[in-house]
Amino acid sequence: MIPVVPAFIIFYFGSYLFWIFNYILISRISQESCYRLAISDILGKLTCFIIYVAFPTTNIRPNITTSGVFVDMLKFLYNVDAANNLFPSIHVLVSWYCFIGLRNNKTIPAWYKYFSLFMAIMISISTLTTKQHVIADVIAGVVLAEATWQLSLQLQQYRAKKLINQEV
């Protein structure tokens, strides 16, 4: 029921620049932020890999017969990216890390936090309007990002307690 909106390919492809910038930004906040992002990212992508192997999914894409800049970019995407291994969406997962890694940091300006939320949402919408994913993939990407973000905090706290106990 969600229509194909070829112009959203800009957000889909633009996500790579957003990810690079925000991963660097989050990693430079503090060593703790860097480790937390790295742990979350590894746990999230490892979870995706397990799900992709155990429960592979596919999507049926529309047959696009028109042309234009955005439509041609969408056709390119369809040619280079198979419509499989969709649940959860890694595009959404990584975009959400880019937001949650900044959302509670007081050194990041509020406008940039809102911009990161906006981008994460637009990238999530782009996965739907380019017919790369379905709504369940998007929801699962956000839930997995939040779960691994919280788990990474618990792992860091456990590691810190263990180090303190070793020093005592």
- Within a domain: 50: yes
- Within a domain: 167: no
Q: Cβ contacts of residue 21 below 8 Å, gap of 6+?
A: none
If one counts the domains in the chain, the total is: 1
Structure tokens at 102: 């900044």
143-163 mean pLDDT: 83
Residue 34 to residue 67: CA distance in whole angstroms? 43
27-56 mean pLDDT: 95
1-28 mean pLDDT: 96
* Residue range of the domain that includes 19: 6-160
Q: Cβ contacts of residue 140 below 8 Å, gap of 6+?
A: 87, 88, 89, 92
